[in-house]
Chain A
Amino acid sequence: MKYYDKLIFDLSKAGRQGYSLPARSWDATLADIPAGLRRAQAPALPEVSELDVVRHYTNLSQMNFGVDSGFYPLGSCTMKYNPKINEEIAAMPAFAGIHPLQPSETVQGVLRVYKELAHALSAITGMAEFTLNPFAGAHGELTGLMIIRQYHISRGDLKRTRIIVPDSAHGTNPASAAVCGLEIVQVKSKENGLVDVEDLKPLLDDTIAGIMMTNPNTLGLFEKDIKEIASLIHECGGLLYYDGANMNPLIGMVRPGDMGFDVLHLNLHKSFSTPHGGGGPGAGPVGVAAHLVPFLPVPKVVEDEEGYLTIAGQDGESCGQISGFMGNFGVLLRAYTYILMLGKQNVKMVGPLAVLGANYIKESLKDCYKLPIESVCKHEFVFDGLLDQSTGVTTLDIAKRLLDYGFHAPTIYFPLLFHQAIMIEPTETESKETLDGFIEIMRHIAAEAISDPESLKTAPHTTPVRRLDETTAARQPVLRYAEM
C-alpha cells in the first residue's frame, strides 16, 4: 500500500471538466425560474478531468484492504469471498435499468427473483415467508420487532412493550428495540457464555413482547438451551426473534425455524456473499413463521394461480412500509446468484466448513492466547487477549501489528463481556494454507509481545498511515473540506 495525500478538491482547477453531455439547447432555461427560488452561488465542487478522477480514486483504492486483498477475519462480519459473477448479474441492464414504479407486467423477471429468493431463504431457515424489503441487518431487526409489536397489537395485547436482550447481543439489538418503542430488559450470560435460563424465568410475564437471541451468540457459542428458552417465551405469550448476523455456521445444518424462532433477519452481505462495500449497501430480509405472515411490511409481492406476480400496497394488518421502494434489489440479485451457484448440494457444506476453520484457529492458538471459555465454537470465537499480558501489550496492539503482516485485524473489544476481546471469524472460503499463515503470524506476535513489546505498542509500521490522533478528531471535528 502506498500513501497518497490528496483530496479530489486539491486537484481542482477552474475551467476543467470531467463530463460530456449532449450539446442540445432548449428554449426554456434556468433563468426562467424566479430569482428568489434560485441558488445564489454555484456549489464549490471540484473541477477536474476524467483522468484526474480515475487516477485519484485508483490511488485511494490502493490505501484500502478488502477480502480480495487478503485474509479478513473480522468476527461477526462474515467476510467471505464475494463471487464475481454476482456483480455481473446485478449489473445486467435488464435489472439495473428498471424504474421502481414500473408496472408489474413489465417487471415479471424482477418479481420472480423476489419470489424465488424468498422461497430459497425459507428453505434454508425453515421460516414460512420472507420480506426482502429491509435494507440492512439493523433495519431487519427493526422490521422484525415492528412485526412482533404489530402481532401483539392485533390481538389487543397492548401491554407487551418489554423485550429481553442478552448482554452479549450486538449493539444494534437494544438500539433497534428502543427505536421500535420497546423497553429493554437485559439478561446476563452465565460463566459459560450462554443465556442463563434460571435468570430468564423471573423476567417472564404478560408485559414481555419477546426475546432477541443471536444463536450462535457473539462468543460463537451455540445456545444449547434454545428449545427450553423457546417454550418458556412462548408459554408467557412472547415471541422469539433470531438475529441472523451469525447465521453462517448454521447454513446447511440447522434451521432457526426448527429451533422455535418466530421472526428472523438475515444479513445477505454476511452469510450470502454480497460485498460489504465499505459498510454498505447490505440487505436484511426478514422471515416469519406462518402466524406472522399477515404482519409483514408492504409492498409485498403476490402470486396468483397462473404464476402472475403483482405488488400489493398498504393493507390493514401489515406493520407498514419500511422502505421507499422494495429494498436493495441489486443486493438481492447477488445473493440469489450465490444461492443458485451453491445449490442444494453445496449449501450443506457452508456451515460445517466455516465452523471447521474457526475451531482450527482456536485450537492452534489457545496456548498463546487466553481462551476464556473452553468449548467447541461455531463460526467464530473470542480470545481475551494474550495468555501472558505481563508486558502490557493489549488487544489493540495485536490488531495493529497484524496489519503490518498483511492481515486485516479481527473484531476487537467486542463482545463487552471481556476486557481484551479478540473475535476471530475465518469463514468457509479460506484455505488451510491461509489459516496456517495467520496462525503462524499470531504465534509470532505473541512471541514479539515478550521479546519486543515496543514494536507492538507502536504498530503498525508499514501501513500508509500509522496510528491516528482520534482524540483531536473528536474534540475539534473537521468534517468537510471547507473546514480544513
Chain B
Amino acid sequence: MAFAYFPHTEDDVRLMLDRIGVGSLEDLYSDVPQDVIYREEYDLPDALSEHEVRQYFEELAEQNTSLFCLCGLGAYDHYAPAVIPHIISRSEFLTAYTPYQPEVSQGTLRYIFEYQSMITELTGMDCTNASMYDGATAAAEAMMMAMASTKKKTRVLLSEGLLPQVVNVVRTYAKFNGIELGFIPCVDGATSYGAMLTEVAVGDVAGVLVPGINKYGIIEDFTGFADAVHAQKGLFMVYSDPSSLAVIKNPGEWGADIVCGDSQSLGVPLCYGGPYVGFLACKKDYVRKLPGRIVGATKDVDGKRAYVLTLQAREQHIRREKATSNICSNQSLMALYVTVYMSLMGPSGLRKVNELSYGGAHYLHDRLLETGLFEKAFDKPFLKEFTLRALVPAQQIQEALQMIGVFGAVEVEEGLVNFCVTEKVSKDNIDAVVGYLNEMKS
C-alpha cells in the first residue's frame, strides 16, 4: 500500500478499523449495493515514479511546436515578470480554499480587494468580482446580469465585432436561459451606430454588449451609444481587454453600466486557453445583481483593518433556485497573477507595454502592406492587433510563417487575417518575418 500520497501504515489501518468496529476497508462500503462495487482492474497505466512522469510529459511536450506568437484574438503574449510565478507558488495562497474563515484568510481577501481596486481603476466602474472563469463566460454573465437588472425585457443585443468565441458562448447561455439575442452588424470594421439605434428602437432590450477593441483590432468609438441605450432603459455593456484600458478611453468614460472581459493580458500565461480570469465590473447601482464573490473592507473586534467576503445574499448558495448565476468559483489564484502584475507595472509600466505594442504593431502593419501579399481591410485606429486582407489564401501565409516558427495570419473571416504585436517583439523579429514573406513571394 505504500505510496507517497498515502501516509497509512498497515498498523494504522488496523487500529483505525478497530476504533470504527469493522473488519476491513471493504466493510466500510457495506451500505453500497454489492453489484455496483467495481472489482475489475482499472483501465489505467501502471503507477509511475515522479521521474518517469516527468519523462513522459517531456515526450508529450516534444509533440508540440513552440511558435513565436504574432496572434491575438483574445489571448495575448505579453511578458510576465519573474516575480509572478514565485508569488503564485507560495503554498499559503496556492493550497487555500475560498476564504470562508476570514481570520485565517486575510492574505487571499487582501489581494482580491487590491484586484477589485485595480480593475475598477482600469474600467472606470465602482465594483468588480474576481469570480469569472474567462472573458467569454464573463460576457454570458453580463448578459444574464442585464436581464436581472432590468424589468420585463426579453432581448440582449450583441455587436458582431465581438470575438467569435465570446459570441458562441453567449449564444449557448442565451439559448438555454431563454434570452433572445439580436445582432448589430459592423460597418467598415466597427459596430454600426445606426444599426444599433434601429435595433434598440425595436424595444425590449435589457442590454447592449459591444467590444472596446473588436475582433479586427479596431478601437471602437462609442459616441452616443450609452445615451441611446439608456433612453430605452437598457444597460450599456462593454467587453474590454483590460491591458488596453490603461491608455484607451475606458468604458466608464463612455458611460457603460457593466464591463466584462478577460484579464489574461495582465500577466497570465497563454497555457492553451486556460486557466484565465474573466472579470465582471459594474456601476454601484447594479452591485446586488453582480454574481460571484466580492470582498469588502471592515474591522475586527479589536478595530484592526480587515477584509471579508461580503454582500453574500447575492450568491447561489443563499439564493439557490432563485439565483440568476450559478457561479461558485472565485478565480482567486488567477486574480493574484493579475494583481502582482499590475503592482509591478504600475501606471507607467502598463502605458509602456501599450506604447511598445502599439509601435510594433504599426511597424508590422506597414511592412506587411509593402510585401504586396496584403491590402488594408479597414482604415480605423488600432492598438496592438490588426486585420489585413490577404491577397493569397490565408492558410498559405499561416503555413509559411509556421515554417520559420512564427504563429500569425490567423483568419478572422474569409480572407481577413489577424496579427498582434506585444512588447516582446523587436524590430529585428519583424524584419525577419517580413523579409521571409518577401522571399516567399518571389
With A82-B95, A139-B133 already in contact, the answer to whether A19 and B81 are too (CB < 8 A) is yes
Interface string of B1-41 (1 = CB under 8 A from A): 10111111000110111011110011011111101111001
A418 close to chain B: CB less than 8 A: no
The answer to whether B304 touches A360 (Cβ under 8 A) is no
Those of B254-268 within 8 Å (CB) of chain A: 262
* Distance in Å: Cβ of B11 to nearest Cβ of chain A: 9
Residues of B within 8 A of A25 (CB): 359
B172 touches A319 (CB 8 A): yes
* Most chain B CB neighbours (cut-off 10 Å) among A40, A460, A466: A466
Instruction: List the one stretch of B227-235, B327-335, B370-378 in contact with chain A.
Output: B327-335
- B residues 176-222 near A (Cβ < 8 Å) are 176-178, 219, 221
- B96's partner among A88, A109, A276, A363 (CB-CB below 8 A) is A276
Cβ-defined contact, A178 with B326, below 8 A: yes
A50 — which chain B residues lie within 8 A by C-beta?
81, 83, 344
In Å, the complex CA distance between A343 and B422 comes to 42
What is the CA–CA distance of A29 and B357 in the complex, to the nearest angstrom?
A: 10
Residue B67 CB within 8 A of the other chain: yes
- Report if A302 contacts B (CB, 8 A): no
Question: Are the C-beta atoms of A465 and B96 separated by less than 8 Å?
Answer: no
Q: Are B296 and A65 in contact (CB under 8 A)?
A: no
Enumerate chain A residues within 8 angstroms of B426, measured Cβ to Cβ: 22, 24
Most buried by A among B44, B97, B175, B336: B97
B359 pairs with A38, CB closer than 8 A: no
Q: Which residue of B lies closest to A259 (CB)?
A: B36
CB distance from B206 to the nearest CB of A (A): 16
Whether, in the assembled complex, B241 has its beta carbon less than 8 Å from a beta carbon of chain A, the answer is no
Complex CA gap A278/B337 in Å reads 13
In-complex Cβ contact of B61 among A95, A123, A470 (8 A): A95
> Is the Cβ of A9 less than 8 Å from the Cβ of B359?
no
Smallest CB–CB gap between A325 and chain B, Å? 3
Question: Which chain B residues lie closer than 8 Å to A355 at the CB level?
Answer: 25, 28-29
Please tell me if the beta carbons of B38 and A141 are within 8 angstroms of each other in the complex: no
Which of A176, A280, A481 has the most B CB atoms < 10 Å from its CB?
A280
Most A-side CB within 10 Å, residue of B64, B245, B410: B64
Asked whether, in the complex, the Cβ of A62 is within 8 Å of the Cβ of B64, the reply is no
Which residues of A138-173 have CB atoms within 8 Å of chain B's CB atoms?
138-139, 141-142, 145-146, 149, 165, 170-172
Q: Across the interface, do B136 and A324 meet the contact criterion of CB distance under 8 Å? A: yes
Q: Is A248 an interface residue (CB 8 A)?
A: no
State which of B127, B320, B329, B346 has its C-beta within 8 Å of the C-beta of A47. Answer: B346
* 8 Å CB contact of B271 from A29, A98, A184, A474: A98
9 contacting pairs across A/B (C-beta < 8 A): A53-B343, A87-B94, A99-B77, A278-B336, A280-B131, A323-B134, A360-B16, A468-B102, A468-B308
Q: Are B273 and A43 in contact, with the CB atoms below 8 A?
A: no
**Closest A residue to B139 using CB positions:** A324
A107, closest chain B residue (CB): B64
Contact B117 A138 (CB under 8 A): no
Which of A66-74, A199-207, A386-394 is the interface stretch? A66-74
Closest to A69 in B: B92
A297 to chain B, nearest CB (A): 8
CB-defined interface of A374-404 with B at 8 Å, one 1/0 digit per residue? 0110000000000000000000000110010
Q: Which residues of chain A come closer than 8 Å to B294, judged between CB atoms? A: 477, 479
Complex contacts, A188 vs chain B, CB 8 Å: none
CB of A320 within 8 A of CB of B172, answer yes
Given known A29-B359, A43-B122, A47-B346, contact A254–B310 (CB-CB < 8 A): no
Contact B272 A22 (CB under 8 A): no
Q: Quote the shortest CB–CB distance from A65 to chain B (angstroms).
A: 4
Q: Which of B71, B105, B178, B356 contacts A26 (CB 8 A)?
A: B356
Chain A 314-336: CB-based contact to B (< 8 A → 1; otherwise 0): 10000111111111111101000
Interface footprint category on A: 35 or more
Q: What residues on B are CB-neighbors of A89 within 8 Å?
A: 53-54, 57
Chain B residues whose CB sits within 8 angstroms of the CB of A60 once the complex forms: 106-107, 110-111
Cα of A434 to Cα of B319 in the assembled complex, Å = 36
Given A142-B326, A344-B47, 20 additional A-B pairs, CB 8 A? A19-B352, A21-B353, A26-B356, A45-B345, A64-B105, A72-B97, A179-B177, A227-B33, A254-B36, A319-B172, A344-B45, A346-B6, A352-B29, A353-B6, A376-B20, A468-B300, A470-B298, A472-B298, A473-B310, A474-B310
- State the CA gap A481–B353 with chains docked (Å): 24
Listed stretches A286-294, A424-432, A441-449; interface member: A424-432
Say yes or no for B391: interface residue by CB 8 A criterion: no
CB of A41, distance to nearest CB on chain B (Å) = 9
Chain A 220-246: CB-based contact to B (< 8 A → 1; otherwise 0): 011010110000000000000000000
Instruction: Tell me whether B362 is interfacial, beta carbon within 8 Å.
Output: yes
* Bound CA span A291–B94, Å: 39
**Do B117 and A482 touch across chains, with their CB atoms under 8 A apart?**
yes
0/1 string, A94-127, CB within 8 A of B gives 1 = 1111111111011111101100000110011010
Instruction: Return the CB mask of B61-82 against A: 1 if under 8 Å, else 0.
Output: 1111111010101110101010
Complex Cα spacing A221 to B32, Å: 10
Q: Given A7-B113, A21-B356, A29-B355, is A279 in contact with B331 using a C-beta cutoff of 8 Å?
A: yes
CB of B353 within 8 A of CB of A321, answer no
4 A-B pairs closest in CB distance: A26-B359, A325-B273, A343-B47, A277-B333
Interface centre among B57, B99, B249, B272, by most chain A C-beta atoms within 10 angstroms, is B272
Interface string of B304-339 (1 = CB under 8 A from A): 111010111101111111111111111111101001
User: B224 interface residue, CB < 8 Å from A?
Assistant: no
Contact B172 A66 (CB under 8 A): no
B226 within 8 A of A: no
Q: Quick check: A184 and B5 within 8 Å, CB to CB? A: no
Complex alpha-carbon distance, A85 and B4, angstroms? 12
Please pick, from B20, B94, B344, the residue contacting A19 in the complex, using a CB distance under 8 A: B344
A235 to chain B, nearest CB (A): 18
Q: Does B91 reach chain A (CB closer than 8 Å)? A: yes
B173 in the interface, Cβ–Cβ < 8 Å? yes
Cα distance A442–B325 when bound, in Å?
37
Question: CB < 8 Å: which of B1, B29, B131, B342 contacts A45?
Answer: B342
